[in-house]
Structure 1
Amino acid sequence: MEMQRMTVLLLPGQGAQRERMAAALLGRDGAFTEAVEEFLAALPTGAELREAWLRPAPNPALDDALLTQPLLFAVGYGLGRVVSGWGGAERPLLLGHSVGELAAATLAGVMDAAEVAALMADRAEVLADAPAGGMLGVSASPDELRPYCDGTVVVGAVNGPRQTVLAGPERELAEAGERIAADGFTVRPLRSGYGFHSPSMASAAQRQAHALAGARLRPPTGSLVSSRTARPVTAAEAVRPDFWADQLQCPVLYWPALRALLDTYGEQPGLVLLDASPDRSLSAPARRHPAVRGGQSVVVPLLAQPEGEDFGAARAAHGAAVAPRAYAAAAASAPSTWAISAAGVFSPSSSSSEMVTG
C-alpha cells in the first residue's frame, strides 16, 4: 500500500515580510484571528503593530526589524493555528526560518504567545542598543563567499544551494558587498537594519537569554526542526533559554534543514510542504529537489495571494497526509551535517553536530 505524505509547515523570517501579508484573514478566519489577537493583546505595542501591518504598500515601516519581528511571529503563529485546526493528519512537522522558529516553537508548545510577546518587548530594548548592521542576499554558495568572510562579516543564512545571506556591521558589510558585486555576483540588500545572525548580535543574544530565564520553557509536544542546528529540537535544547536567544547571533541553516527532510523523506513517504511565506520564498529551493521534480513531494503555497485567501488546495493536500511521528522517532538523535568555521563559512561535516563560532 502506498504511504501517505507527511506535512511540513514552513514559517517565514526576517526579509520575507510584505505589506498586508495575510491581512485578509483577520476577522474572516476564526483560528487565525484568535491567535493573532491573542498575541497583539499581550504585546505592549500591539495597537501600533496592527496599524502598520494593515497599511497598504508602499510601507517603509516594514524595513524596521522592531516592527517586522513581532509581525512575522504573529502571522506565522496565526497560520500555524489554522493548519493545526484542519484535522486529518495530526499537527504538521514545523520548520521556521529565523524568527519563524519562535512561531514554530510556540505552536509546538515550547512557549506560549504571551511569553513571546514579553520576549519581543525586551528585544525592542535590546536592539535599540545594538550596532547598526545589515544583511545581503547573494546568489552564491557559502563556499564561494569564503574569501569575503572575515569573522565580522559572516554567512548569516543558507536559504538554498546558491541563496546565501551575509550579515554583519554596516560599514564592513557594505565594503564586502562592493567587492562581491565587483566580482560578478548578484547582491541584494535585505530589509533589515541589523546584522542578525552574526557576531554583532552577541550582546543582544546574551540579554535575550536573561529575559527568557523567567519563561516556563517546555519540551516540544510536536515535531519541531531547528533551522539553527538543521535537526530536530531535543527536549534538553527546548528548555534552555540560550538556545532560543542565540538565534540572534547564530546562522540560519534553513536549506540544510529542509534538504535533510527532502533527502530522507522526500521520496518515501513524500512530503507536503506548506509554504507560509507571502512571497513563496521558503519553498523556492525545494522546487528544484529531485523529490519535488519527480512528484513524490509537493509544494503548496499556504497564501495563494500575499494577503491570504481560500486555503482549499493547502487543506486538501494536508488532509491526505499523515502525522510525522515516524520522522520524530527516527531523526531525534540525528546529528547536524553542517558546521561553521571561525570565519563564518559553512561546510559539510560528518563528525560534528556543533556550530563553532569562535
Structure 2
Amino acid sequence: METTAKSGPRPVVLLFAGQGAQHPGMGRHLYGAEPVFTAAMENVFDLLGVRAERLRADFLAGREDGLDEAEQAQPLLFALGYATARLIRSWGVRPAALLGHSVGEAVAAVVAGVMSLPDAVRLLITRTEAATRTPPGGMLAVAASPDTLASLLPEGVVVGALNGPRQILLAGAKAPLAEAESRLRAQGVLCRRARARQGFHSQLMDPVVASALPDVARTALRPPAVRLYSAYTGHPLGSAEAVDPSFWARQIAEPVLFGPALDRLLANGNFLLIDAGPGESLLSLARRHPAIASGRSDVVAVLPPARAAADLVHGALPSAVRRIRSEGHRLSVQ
C-alpha cells in the first residue's frame, strides 16, 4: 500500500510501547484532567477485577517498587496505551496504521478491532500470570548488531527484540544473561539492563504459550479494520494471521521485530508517527530511522520523557496537539 501524499497532511501512525518503557508517574498527569483518558483507564481497571485496586493506587502514587514486575508493568502499559489512543482518536485523528512493541501489539489489536477490549484484558491477565511463573530472567539492551553478538552469547540467551541497527534486546534466564553482560562489557560493548524481571521473547516463555493457547482459541478474532504492522512478522498483519490463535499465543516467546516492521512501514509512504506510550521510548527508536532523520516522515510523543520536570510533563500534550495541527490535521481539541 503506497500512502505517500502529494498534498495534505501526512497520514498518522500510532505507536504503542512494551515492557521496558514503563516509569513511575507515567501518564498520571492526564488522569482526572482528561475525561476521555480517565474513562479509558477506568475501563481497563474495571476489567482487571481484583488486581485493579492495587494497580490504580500504584499508578496514581507513581510508585517505582514492583514496576519492573510483569504483573504490574504489563497491565499498566496496556491501559496507558489504550487510554492514550482513545484520547488521540477523540480529537478526530483517524490513524492510517498501527505498530506496537511487545504488549503494545495487544493494544494495537484492540484499536484495530482484531479483538475486543474485554477479551484482550482477559488474555493479558492469563499471559501475565503464566509469565510470572517462569524462571527468573530479564532483558539486556545492547548497542551491537546480531552478527557481532553471535559468538559472545552463552547458551540460553537469545535476541529478544530487534529494534533497529545496533539496537538489540537480549533475553534469557538470570544467570546466562549476567554471563552475557559480563562477556559483552569485556569486549567494550555498551549494555543496559531493561526494566523486566522475566525473559520475555525467549524460550523461557514456551510454557506460557502452551497455557495461553486454549484461551486464545476461545476468543473471537477478526481481520484488522486499520492496517496493523506486526512486530512479530515485520509486515502488515494479514487476515489469516489475525484470526489464528497460535499467532497471538506465540507472541510472548517470539522475537520482537520492531525495526524491520518500522522499515516496512516507512518504505510504504511518508507518515507522522505518534508515540502513544510512556517515556518517549519509541520516539527515541524512530528518530534514528533514515526516513525520520531525512524529514520524509516525522515522529511526535504525546507523553513526556521519564522523570521530566513539571513544566515538560504538563507541556507534552499541548505540544503534541500543536505539532499534529501544524501537519494540517484538523483536531477537535482546545
TM-score by length of 1: 0.83
Q: Residues 278 and 124 of structure 1: is their aligned pair in 2 closer, same or farther, counting only changes over 3 Å?
A: closer
Provide the rounded CA distance (Å) in 2 between the counterparts of 1:35 and 1:81: 7
Paired residue for 2:104? 100
Paired residue for 2:271? 271
Provide the rounded CA distance (Å) in 1 between the counterparts of 2:255 and 2:139: 12
Q: SS of the counterpart of 1:38?
A: helix
Q: CA deviation at 1:73?
A: 0.3
Larger CA deviation: 282-291 vs 205-214? 282-291
Please point out which of 48, 53, 60 is paired with 1:47.
Answer: 53
Provide the rounded CA distance (Å) in 1 between the counterparts of 2:219 and 2:90: 26
Provide the rounded CA distance (Å) in 2 between the counterparts of 1:308 and 1:215: 39
Q: Is residue 320 of structure 2 the alignment partner of residue 314 of structure 1?
A: yes
Paired residue for 1:15? 20
Q: CA deviation at 1:291?
A: 2.7
Paired residue for 2:125? 121
Paired residue for 2:332? none
Q: CA deviation at 1:313?
A: 3.8
Cα deviation, 1:139-170, whole Å, max 9, x if unaligned, reads: 11122111134662110001221110000111
Q: CA deviation at 1:286?
A: 2.6
Provide the rounded CA distance (Å) in 1 between the counterparts of 2:285 and 2:19: 17
Q: Residues 148 and 134 of structure 1: is their aligned pair in 2 closer, same or farther, counting only changes over 3 Å?
A: same
Q: CA deviation at 1:66?
A: 1.1
Larger CA deviation: 279-288 vs 209-218? 279-288
Q: Residues 293 and 123 of structure 1: is their aligned pair in 2 closer, same or farther, counting only changes over 3 Å?
A: closer
Please point out which of 238, 241, 245 is paired with 1:241.
Answer: 245
Q: SS of the counterpart of 1:168?
A: strand
Provide the rounded CA distance (Å) in 2 between the counterparts of 1:322 and 1:94: 20
Q: SS of the counterpart of 1:279?
A: helix
Q: Is residue 275 of structure 2 the alignment partner of residue 290 of structure 1?
A: no
Check the 8 A contact 1:7/1:321 in 2, yes or no: no
Check the 8 A contact 1:303/1:309 in 2, yes or no: no
**Ranges in structure 1 where 5+ consecutive residues have no aligned partner:** 324-358
Provide the rounded CA distance (Å) in 2 between the counterparts of 1:148 and 1:65: 28
Q: Residues 33 and 249 of structure 1: is their aligned pair in 2 closer, same or farther, counting only changes over 3 Å?
A: same
Alignment of 1:46-195 (within 5 A): 46-56=52-62, 59-87=64-92, 89-149=93-153, 152-195=156-199
Check the 8 A contact 1:86/1:319 in 2, yes or no: no
Q: Letter of the aligned partner of 1:200 in structure 2?
A: L
Provide the rounded CA distance (Å) in 2 between the counterparts of 1:292 and 1:172: 36
Provide the rounded CA distance (Å) in 1 between the counterparts of 2:79 and 2:147: 34
Provide the rounded CA distance (Å) in 1 between the counterparts of 2:29 and 2:147: 41
Check the 8 A contact 1:161/1:285 in 2, yes or no: no
Provide the rounded CA distance (Å) in 1 between the counterparts of 2:315 and 2:112: 25
Provide the rounded CA distance (Å) in 1 between the counterparts of 2:111 and 2:71: 22
Q: CA deviation at 1:92?
A: 3.9
Provide the rounded CA distance (Å) in 2 between the counterparts of 1:65 and 1:211: 19
Q: Letter of the aligned partner of 2:84 in structure 1?
A: L
Check the 8 A contact 1:43/1:114 in 2, yes or no: no
Q: Letter of the aligned partner of 1:232 in structure 2?
A: P
Q: Letter of the aligned partner of 2:262 in structure 1?
A: L
Q: Letter of the aligned partner of 2:276 in structure 1?
A: A
Check the 8 A contact 1:131/1:194 in 2, yes or no: yes
Provide the rounded CA distance (Å) in 2 between the counterparts of 1:203 and 1:17: 25
Q: CA deviation at 1:3?
A: 4.9
Paired residue for 1:350? none
TM-score by length of 2: 0.88
**RMSD after superposition:** 2.1
Larger CA deviation: 43-52 vs 96-105? 43-52
Provide the rounded CA distance (Å) in 2 between the counterparts of 1:206 and 1:25: 38
**Ranges in structure 2 where 5+ consecutive residues have no aligned partner:** 1-5, 307-312, 330-334
Q: Letter of the aligned partner of 2:100 in structure 1?
A: G
Provide the rounded CA distance (Å) in 1 between the counterparts of 2:289 and 2:69: 34
Q: SS of the counterpart of 1:148?
A: coil
Check the 8 A contact 2:155/2:176 in 1, yes or no: no
Cα deviation, 1:66-100, whole Å, max 9, x if unaligned, reads: 1101110000001111112221x523411010000
Cα deviation, 1:199-239, whole Å, max 9, x if unaligned, reads: 11111112112222221111111111111111111111111
Q: How many residues align?
A: 317
Q: Residues 313 and 109 of structure 1: is their aligned pair in 2 closer, same or farther, counting only changes over 3 Å?
A: same
Provide the rounded CA distance (Å) in 1 between the counterparts of 2:301 and 2:252: 27
Q: SS of the counterpart of 1:147?
A: coil
Larger CA deviation: 190-199 vs 206-215? 206-215
Provide the rounded CA distance (Å) in 2 between the counterparts of 1:144 and 1:310: 38
